[in-house]
Amino acid sequence: MRSTNRKKRRSSTFKRILLFLVIISVALGAGFVTWQYLRGETSQSDGDTPSNEETPSHVETEPENLEDTPVAEEPDDEEDPEPEETFIDIRISATGDVMGHASQLESAYDAETDTYDFTSVFEDVKPVIEEADLALANLETTLAGPSRPYIGYPTFNTPDAIVDGLEYAGFDALITANNHSLDTRAEGLRRTVEVIQDKGLNAVGTYSSAPDSRVLMKDVNGISVAVLGYTEHLNGLEAQYSDEELFAMVDIIDEEQIIRDIEEAKALDPDLIVTYMHWGAEYVEEPNELQTYYAELLTREGVDIILGSHPHVIQRAEMLEVDGNEAFVAYSMGNFISNQRRETLGAGFEPTEDGVIISFDIQKNELTEETTIEQVIFTPTWVYRNREDGSGTYTYRILPVDRYLENPDLSEEFNNRARESYERTMQRLNYDATETD
């Protein structure tokens, strides 16, 4: 939005009146001098001696040059108008874990062309993601390329096409600091960053070379957003590298380093600071002490939005206030896409099918430069998996659940599971927010 400054206006009416009065005054002065002369009350030009020059019967007085007459400035009775308030509005959307299990890779593979295509997985959530001006997700796999086998758990290597699918859906930046960052070792970590960047997206939390800064700054339609990402775990693979090598590759949760990074971010004068934290215990619905400790630390240091991943299930969301600073925190946003579910993990693991897209409507007052979170919107998602038309591979779709409840295209069983997922997600988030239509 554009600021509008009104210029002061001065009235010319007073000047015209003043000019008229000057002309009248000159004319009256000339008449008064003539009247004095006729009465013989005017003084001689050189003392009392009468002049030999003939005295005219009347005296003409030339009016003064009006252009040289000083004109009094009109006092400006109009006060300067108050500057108008203008606003910038953007939406930031974020979601949880993007996995690449083996059956997902089989589903995306086209044997005739020997290529992979993941775009259909994101087709149903694409309208939601595209509404965002900045969209973020946690990419919990590596892109080591075809020099290694494409495999899933426990050491993920996913085809580059997964990034094409995410870019198609509308994502702008991918968080790459997580417990699987080193699954294909340093070479795979670095190539992951390079592929993401080559495809026009940002990688957050891992680096192809030692970074000059660990802060991603994004100008989002005139609102500056700083993005950071950290991981608690590296699955023990960090033991293969020195502290210096690790520091050059990945951002690990460390209190002193996080505080330094936030200070660096604040020195860049962002309007908003967003931090992804890959933390907590898998499949546990409540945040643990480490999560709550760092949520409070990040809030106290000035982070505005804290987004959690790794537990693979939904955990609660809340507003924190620490030492006068406020932050929104979602301790875990669950799985965005994975093969984790009741059929693969067993009864009781249904919450691994659940995810959520959290959207933040952000507003900046251009006059005061104050930036606020105006609204938080939850879009619960559910991972649909089914063998269709006798296919030997599964079809995967991420469904924005409330748009698919009672959908005739889904079987009664899937409608019931989608409804249960929705209810679980909203109950676990336990936050007064507005769901999307």
- In a domain, residue 2? The reply is no
Q: Are 59 and 196 members of one domain?
A: no
Q: What is the pLDDT of residue 58?
A: 43
Of residues 15 and 79, more confidently modeled: 79
The CATH number for 107's domain is 3.60.21.10
Residue 77, by phi and psi: left (phi above 0), alpha (psi -120 to 50) or beta? alpha
Q: What's the confidence (pLDDT) of residue 428? A: 96
Q: Point out the least confidently predicted range of 39-53, 339-353, 391-405, 413-427.
A: 39-53
Q: What is the pLDDT of residue 322?
A: 98
Is 60 in the same domain as 175?
no
What pLDDT is recorded for position 99? Answer: 98
Read off the pLDDT of each residue in 406-431 and give the average, rounded to a whole number: 92
Please give the pLDDT value at position 74: 59
- Given a contact cutoff of 8 angstroms between Cβ atoms, the answer to whether 76 and 8 are in contact is yes
What are 400's strand-pairing partners?
381
What are the residues whose beta carbons fall under 8 Å from the beta carbon of 307, sequence distance 6 or more?
94, 136, 274, 275, 276, 277, 329, 330, 333, 358
pLDDT of residue 45: 38
Beta partners for 318?
329
Q: Quick one: pLDDT band at residue 46, thresholds 50, 70, 90?
A: very low
Question: Per the domain annotation, does 322 fall within a domain?
Answer: yes
CA-to-CA separations, 261 to 62, 214, 275, 325, in angstroms, rounded: 80, 7, 11, 18
| Res. 78: pLDDT tops 70 | no
Residues 77 and 94 in one domain: no
pLDDT more than 90, % of the chain: 75
Residue 160 scores a pLDDT above 90: yes
Mean pLDDT for all residues in the chain? 86
What is the band of 232 on the pLDDT scale with cuts at 50, 70, 90?
very high
Secondary structure class of 136 (helix, strand, coil): strand
Confidence of residue 47 (pLDDT cuts 50, 70, 90): very low
Residue 193 lies in a domain: yes
**Residue 339: pLDDT band by 50, 70, 90 thresholds?**
very high
Indicate whether 216 and 67 sit together in one domain. no
Residues 140 and 76 in one domain: no
The pLDDT confidence band at residue 432, using thresholds 50, 70 and 90, is confident
**At 28, is the pLDDT very low, low, confident or very high (cuts 50, 70, 90)?**
very low
Whether residues 374 and 276 fall in one domain: yes
How does residue 68 score in pLDDT terms, banded at 50, 70 and 90?
Answer: low
CA distances from 94 to 5, 8, 62, 135, 336 (A): 36, 46, 83, 6, 10
Residue 40 has pLDDT above 50, yes or no: no
Q: Residue 36's pLDDT band (boundaries 50, 70, 90)? A: very low
Domain extent, residue 24, equals: 12-45+55-81
Q: Name which residue leads in pLDDT, 276 or 3.
A: 276
Residue 62 pLDDT exceeds 80: no
Residues 62 and 143 in one domain: no
pLDDT band at 76 (very low <50, low <70, confident <90, very high): low
Closest C-alpha among 273, 276, 298 to residue 177: 276
pLDDT tens, residue by residue, 123-134? 999 999 999 999
Q: Are residues 67 and 130 in the same domain?
A: no
348 token code pair: 């009781």
Q: pLDDT of 365-384, one tens digit each? A: 999 999 999 999 999 999 99
- Do 413 and 270 fall within a single domain? yes
User: What is the count of structural domains for the chain?
Assistant: 2
Q: Say if residue 94 is in the same domain as residue 211.
A: yes
Task: Report which of residues 26 and 135 the model is more confident about.
Answer: 135
Say what the pLDDT of residue 395 is. Answer: 97
Q: Which of 144-153, 176-185, 201-210, 425-434 comes out lowest in average pLDDT? A: 425-434
**Residue 6 counted as domain residue:** no
* pLDDT tens by residue, 387-414: 988 888 999 999 999 888 877 888 899 9
The length of the chain in residues reads 437
Q: Is residue 334 part of a domain?
A: yes
How confident is residue 19, by pLDDT bands cut at 50, 70 and 90?
very low
Return d(Cα 293, Cα 17) in angstroms, integer.
75
